[in-house]
């Protein structure tokens, strides 16, 4: 339960735009139009999952999957 309380405390302390950066992932508590992202393609057989920062709870890795490829 301490992890959940720490996440809530971090979110409440941020107070919106310009809030403090997370000391673990470096993420801000908000997102802006000038944010940059890295896109990485991996082989379909690699097991990749979404990831979240254990300290602030911000999602740090997003997995997007497409359905099976159709072969003609």
Q: Residue 17: which of 35, 30, 32 has the closest Cα?
A: 30
- The number of distinct structural domains making up the chain is 1
Predicted local confidence at residue 36, as pLDDT: 76
Q: Is residue 69 part of a domain?
A: no
CB neighbours (10 Å) of residue 33?
4
**Stronger pLDDT, 16 or 65, i.e. the higher one:** 65
Does pTM surpass 0.75? no
Q: Give the model confidence (pLDDT) of 30-66 as tens digits.
A: 666 777 777 888 887 787 888 888 988 888 888 887 7
Give the Cα separation of 11 and 4 in Å (integer).
11
| Structural domain for 53, as ranges | 1-30+37-64
Tell me whether residue 49 is in a domain. yes
The first and second tokens of residue 54, run together, are 């254990």
CA 27/CA 35 separation, integer angstroms: 11
Is 70 a domain residue?
Answer: no
Rg (C-alpha) for the chain, rounded Å, is 16
């Amino acid at each position: 339960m301490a992890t959940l309380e720490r996440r809530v405390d971090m979110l409440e302390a941020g107070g919106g735009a310009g809030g403090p950066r997370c000391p673990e992932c470096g993420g801000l508590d908000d997102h802006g139009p000038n944010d940059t992202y890295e896109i990485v393609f991996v082989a379909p057989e690699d097991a990749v999952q979404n990831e979240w920062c254990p300290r602030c709870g911000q999602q740090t890795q997003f997995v997007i999957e497409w359905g099976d490829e159709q072969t003609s």
